[in-house]
Amino acid sequence: MNKVSLLLFFLLAVTTIGCAQESETKVVNPYSKWDGFVLESNPYYFPIGVYTQRPEYAGKYKELGINLYYYLWQGPTAEQITDLKKYGMRTICEFNEYAKENLINDPVVVAWTHLDEPDLVKFSRNKLTKMGQTETKALVKKMWPKMYDKMELGTKDYKGWGFGYSPEYCREEYEKIKKYDSSRPVILGLSKGVVIKEFNARGDRKYNNEDYQNYVNGSGDILSFDIYPVAYKIPEQLNKVADGVDSLAKWDSKDRLKFVAIECTFGRPDGPSATSEQIRAEIWMAIIRGARGISYFVHNFDGDKKFVRSDGLLADPEMMNAIKKQNAEIHSLAKVIYADETSNVKINGNESKIDFVAKEVDGYLYVLSSTITTEEVEAEFNLDNISNGTIEVINEKRTVELKNGKFTDQFAGYDVNLYKIKL
């Protein structure tokens, strides 16, 4: 190769590398604000947890694409942490005395839990009756002073239905954790009361939905909630999962990250339980609305909501395969999920029945979409900057045609379609 040819080859190589670098979209993982949360080996780490499982099963869950243990039963303990490290599994766990003394600088912990579902009754009517009136009224006065006054407990006996932890109490506990460890986030996990009004399990606070804004803005760096529509026998309301993300965002004054607990094997073996298609719909509806982490609830309860087993997913090979596939899909699209939105896509008609978000990443336009109703829907999408082409429907082994900047596709009720289009 002569000098001229060598120079041309060098210039071509530099130009090619430069183009490749320019086509790669810069995307920031929102969890990178906390040191150690994002793995160096995986810059687009997306948290996929499993709720309250035995650490010795961590290897099995890791094979399914689960990368986080969310809560440790009566832990953390030294034995639990040893087991998690054995399988390279990290955790979000309670800030107990063992954690305070041993785990503040341990990378196995990515975040601390904070009073799981404090909005629900923690002091039941039976428990308060055993405590006696004097102690009960003192507790109400400390926890819920306005309720104490409204019930006139200065002169009357308490005859309520019980209550949970107040937002003020939650804030105090949150501040205690942050005093010891300001480097990690604290997650606040709320109940389905986020989207279900007049929820009986809230006891005396049943009609006081204004509590939620105070919970959200007082005591968490990451916000989470759970609702399991199929297990709760409202399968026609899968959209409640997405609505809960909206509620948290509405109350949140600091634009914090949102987690969602997803039902998996709740009603199995003989009760109502979500199918893999319903689980996929719940997940993507939540992600489209802004969720940036999920955790599967994999316990088994029977049709009467009686506990059967905690590791129900591991007893269900068919569901295991479905969850493994679903998790692989999320991980493969994590960079897309974290990317900024583009406004270059619009939908004609059926806006109230279809949710979607569009992202431009590494030379492709991605449109993540789902129906938010039980109805079948035909959707027409308009693209501003692309006129014609073939669109890949991700993980469905099919394509749709883009003509004159438009494409049409069919959606079943609570259906998910993820599109990839070359720019």
**Distance, CA of 249 to CA of 255 (rounded, Å):** 7
Tokens at residue 186, please?
């604290």
Q: Is the pLDDT of residue 8 over 60?
A: no
Q: What is the CA radius of gyration of the chain?
A: 24
Q: Is the pLDDT of residue 147 over 90?
A: yes
Res 296: pLDDT = 98
Res 13: pLDDT = 45
Residue 253 per-residue DSSP state: S
**Distance, CA of 91 to CA of 55 (rounded, Å):** 10
Q: Is the pLDDT of residue 325 over 90?
A: yes
Tokens at residue 392, please?
């890949």
**For range 60-88, the mean pLDDT:** 97
Q: Which long-range contacts (C-beta less than 8 Å, at least 24 apart) are formed by 199-203?
A: 201/120, 201/121, 202/119, 202/120, 202/121, 202/163, 202/164, 203/120, 203/121, 203/124, 203/125, 203/160, 203/161, 203/162, 203/163, 203/164
The mean of the pLDDT values for the chain is 93
Q: Are strands 354-361 and 389-393 parallel, antiparallel or unpaired?
A: unpaired
* Percentage of the chain lying above the pLDDT 90 cut: 87
Q: Is the pLDDT of residue 349 over 50?
A: yes
Q: Is the pLDDT of residue 270 over 50?
A: yes
Query: Rounded to two decimals, what is the model's pTM?
Result: 0.92
